[in-house]
Chains A and B, each alone.
Chain A
Amino acid sequence: MFAPFILELRKAGLPASITEWLALMGAMKAGVADYDIDDFYYLARTTLVKDERHLDRFDRVFGEVFKGLEPPTTLTGEVIQRELPEEWLKKLAERMFTAEEMAKIKAMGGFEKLMETLRERLAEQKKRHQGGNRMIGTNGTSPFGAEGYNPEGVRIGQEGGRQRRAVKVWDKREFRDLDDEAALGSRAMKLALRKLRRFARQGEANELDVDGTIGATARNAGTLDLKMRPERRNAVKVLLLLDIGGSMDDHVMASEELFSAAKSEFKHLVHLYFHNCPYERFWKSNRRRAEQTVTTWDVLRTYGPDWRVVFVGDASMAPYEIVEPGGSVEHWNEEAGKVWLHRITSHFRRVAWINPTPQKHWGYTTSINLIHDAVEGRMFPMTLEGLDGVARALR
């Protein structure tokens, strides 16, 4: 009878397997939870969850399955059946209905009815968009005016802000391969990378120093004197995913520095490029981006979970580039960036996102918050302290 529970858990991205499931059943049989929903909850949590990062997800699924609650938001972002924010609807209402219409609606049913109508219209609108029109940049076809449709309510009346939210930068952008030619100027960065490297040397593997042992034994007049020396190995594998272009232009210099430093520190280092948000493809080289692409599925297949993934990006974009299918400013993406981010973070357990934007500005940009959540809080500023955090997240 609990079978849907584990399926839901797996759907939410918890790595619960049949082993854990059997353990839970075994514990139930052994009478650890005596017909008490709280005890059962604790027991299920202790058997099925193995990482405190997953506790919240578990709680949500548990609530849904056993209390029949509505899903708040799904992590994979596939079905966001969220209530529309009222304020936003009100604003919309002013746009969509003329004064007479407003009066008419008031007469026939008031605000509730109005909301209903709005929702219907919005649903239609969404369908029409998916029928082929690009949501971005097609000002005019939408009755919602220049702002376009966005259930997150962010692009309503907020254009022309300080942040260059984007839409057409790709036209004028000059691409530069983020090659490691740039000399490492910043000593601070080098220091930081030394910190990064610390996690590369794992443990203290000792090996026999043959020459030293022979020498010491001879000096000891034949009585054996073993000499050991620490083995040096650098086993760390890093997958560097770099955001290029667009709002990232300000930070290209900074990431170039980081990149060239990183190259000398890690033995296995693969770098791939994306723009704003990762979708189904990465570029292997920035110059030949059209020919040399690799699909994200291939990336997930090629590099095992022991690779460390480091994103470098400012995560500043329009929120729909993350949450909506077709949100990319470069091509039509079937699945939302959020879904791809989730796939990447659940495959590679050690993930960090380095954000060159000063940390104090993070709170003002919706997309930074979205990405911050998507990487489970492992977003760090590009400072010495931030890189310390990166090293901790990757260890």
Chain B
Amino acid sequence: MQKFQSTERYIAPRELEVAVNAAVALQRPLLVKGEPGTGKTVLAQEVARSLGIPLIEWHIKSTTKAQQGLYEYDAVSRLRDGQLGDERVRDISNYIIKGKLWEAFEYETPVVLLIDEIDKADIEFPNDLLLELDRMQFHVYETKQTVVARHRPIVIITSNNEKELPDAFLRRCFFHFIRFPDRETMERILASHYPDLRSDLAREALNVFFQIREVNELKKKPATSELLDWLKLLMIEDMPPEALRTSDAKVAIPPLYGALLKNEQDVHLFERLAFLSRARR
């Protein structure tokens, strides 16, 4: 299989390439953590694109159970069918609903399986998937069949650190922490997303962006995705780069800040800081 590399749409640092390739080579799940908005979910899409294979996404919610990824036995509708005398009731397999994992195991070609935000689920969730992810097989009790993966899928798991994951689970995964990109990488990311972005606008926008990120008290620091949204807005509004230069402007809060600062406390904080810095001048 070919190796994963940065694409023109997704700039992956070397460390991330090594991590993905190690996971692919050894067929282990790759656990990806990092600040929100640094491209954890996008990574899976880009791995699939770069390797030229399909992507199956399993988004986890607080109510998701591990069993739902394998299959679900819809006992209630079978009971109802039984009461109504439906013929389908005789075959139990009519009531087995395949989950995402089953889907990935059955695929003709290797696939990338994204298990998104695993930390949202119940604390036991990762433990319930240990054997399935290790052996890539599971047993369906109702029909007494064993589902074995035709090709071991490339499993990418993302976590936002809301819950601690169990050791046994971690031991089976490779781990990568997506660091916040430095300025140089950020410039490459911008260039890959908006090729026709004016360089002076990009420079001013990055100045403002990294200044905001330096404010430690922010509840949610803007990340790559916020920066991209904001730049898109600036381009749509056709904002001149001079408008972003805070040092000589009357108002130090950046235009269209709504794309960067996502809660009102942060906006207040930023306004206060801007006021203070003006007062000092």
Q: Do A and B bind each other?
A: yes
Q: Identify which of B79, B171, B172, B174 gathers the most chain A CB atoms within 10 Å of its CB.
A: B174
| A300 beta carbon closer than 8 Å to chain B | no
Chain B: which residue is nearest A350 at the CB level? Answer: B164
Contacts of A33 in B (CB 8 A): 18
Measured as residues with beta carbon below 8 angstroms from the partner, the interface class of chain A is 35 or more
Q: Kindly provide the distance from the CB of B3 to the nearest chain A CB, expressed in whole angstroms.
A: 9
Tell me whether A223 and B83 are in contact (CB under 8 A).
Answer: yes
Question: Which stretch in B20-28, B102-110, B150-158, B252-260 binds the other chain?
Answer: B20-28
| A89 beta carbon closer than 8 Å to chain B | no
Chain A: which residue is nearest B219 at the CB level? Answer: A385
| A143 beta carbon closer than 8 Å to chain B | no
| A3 beta carbon closer than 8 Å to chain B | no
Tell me whether A15 and B83 are in contact (CB under 8 A).
Answer: no
| B175 beta carbon closer than 8 Å to chain A | yes
Q: Which of B70-85 contact A (CB under 8 A)?
A: 76, 79-80, 83
Q: Kindly provide the distance from the CB of A267 to the nearest chain B CB, expressed in whole angstroms.
A: 16
User: When chains A and B are docked, how far (Å) is the Cα of A9 from the Cα of B19?
Assistant: 20
Tell me whether B171 and A52 are in contact (CB under 8 A).
Answer: no
Given A27-B26, A52-B177, A349-B164: A202 and B80 within 8 A (CB)? Answer: no
User: When chains A and B are docked, how far (Å) is the Cα of A32 from the Cα of B33?
Assistant: 21
Contacts of B196 in A (CB 8 A): none
Q: Which of B1-60 contact A (CB under 8 A)?
A: 14-15, 18-19, 21-23, 25-26, 28, 30-31, 33
Question: Which stretch in A17-25, A111-119, A314-322, A339-347 binds the other chain?
Answer: A17-25
| A132 beta carbon closer than 8 Å to chain B | no
User: When chains A and B are docked, how far (Å) is the Cα of A26 from the Cα of B14?
Assistant: 20
Q: Kindly provide the distance from the CB of A42 to the nearest chain B CB, expressed in whole angstroms.
A: 4
Cβ contacts A1-34/B at 8 Å (1 or 0 each): 0000000000000010101100100110011110
Tell me whether B15 and A45 are in contact (CB under 8 A).
Answer: yes
Q: Kindly provide the distance from the CB of B264 to the nearest chain A CB, expressed in whole angstroms.
A: 15
| A49 beta carbon closer than 8 Å to chain B | yes
Chain B: which residue is nearest A203 at the CB level? Answer: B122
Residue in B18, B167, B172 whose beta carbon sits within 8 Å of that of A43 in the complex: B18
Tell me whether B21 and A32 are in contact (CB under 8 A).
Answer: yes
User: When chains A and B are docked, how far (Å) is the Cα of A198 from the Cα of B79?
Assistant: 36
| A94 beta carbon closer than 8 Å to chain B | no
Q: Which of A213-231 contact B (CB under 8 A)?
A: 222-224, 226
User: When chains A and B are docked, how far (Å) is the Cα of A23 from the Cα of B19?
Assistant: 12
| B278 beta carbon closer than 8 Å to chain A | no
Q: Kindly provide the distance from the CB of A45 to the nearest chain B CB, expressed in whole angstroms.
A: 7
Residue in A20, A32, A42, A203 whose beta carbon sits within 8 Å of that of B25 in the complex: A32
Given A39-B14, A55-B177, A223-B80: A46 and B19 within 8 A (CB)? Answer: yes
Q: Which of B217-250 contact A (CB under 8 A)?
A: none
Tell me whether B122 and A202 are in contact (CB under 8 A).
Answer: yes
Contacts of A38 in B (CB 8 A): 14
Cβ contacts A349-365/B at 8 Å (1 or 0 each): 11000000000000000
User: When chains A and B are docked, how far (Å) is the Cα of A350 from the Cα of B30?
Assistant: 23
| B170 beta carbon closer than 8 Å to chain A | yes
Residue in A32, A50, A204 whose beta carbon sits within 8 Å of that of B170 in the complex: A50
Cβ contacts A186-211/B at 8 Å (1 or 0 each): 00000000000000001111000000
Chain A: which residue is nearest B119 at the CB level? Answer: A395
User: When chains A and B are docked, how far (Å) is the Cα of A223 from the Cα of B76?
Assistant: 11
Tell me whether B171 and A203 are in contact (CB under 8 A).
Answer: no
User: When chains A and B are docked, how far (Å) is the Cα of A202 from the Cα of B163?
Assistant: 10
User: When chains A and B are docked, how far (Å) is the Cα of A182 from the Cα of B172?
Assistant: 48
Chain B: which residue is nearest A349 at the CB level? Answer: B164
Contacts of A395 in B (CB 8 A): 162-164
User: When chains A and B are docked, how far (Å) is the Cα of A42 from the Cα of B30?
Assistant: 14
Name B's A-contacting residues (CB within 8 A): 14-15, 18-19, 21-23, 25-26, 28, 30-31, 33, 62-63, 76, 79-80, 83, 121-125, 162-164, 167, 170-177
Question: What are 10 A-B contacts defined by CB distance under 8 Å?
Answer: A20-B171, A31-B25, A32-B18, A47-B174, A51-B175, A52-B33, A204-B122, A223-B83, A226-B76, A395-B162
Name A's B-contacting residues (CB within 8 A): 15, 17, 19-20, 23, 26-27, 30-33, 38-39, 42-43, 45-47, 49-52, 55, 202-205, 222-224, 226, 349-350, 392, 395
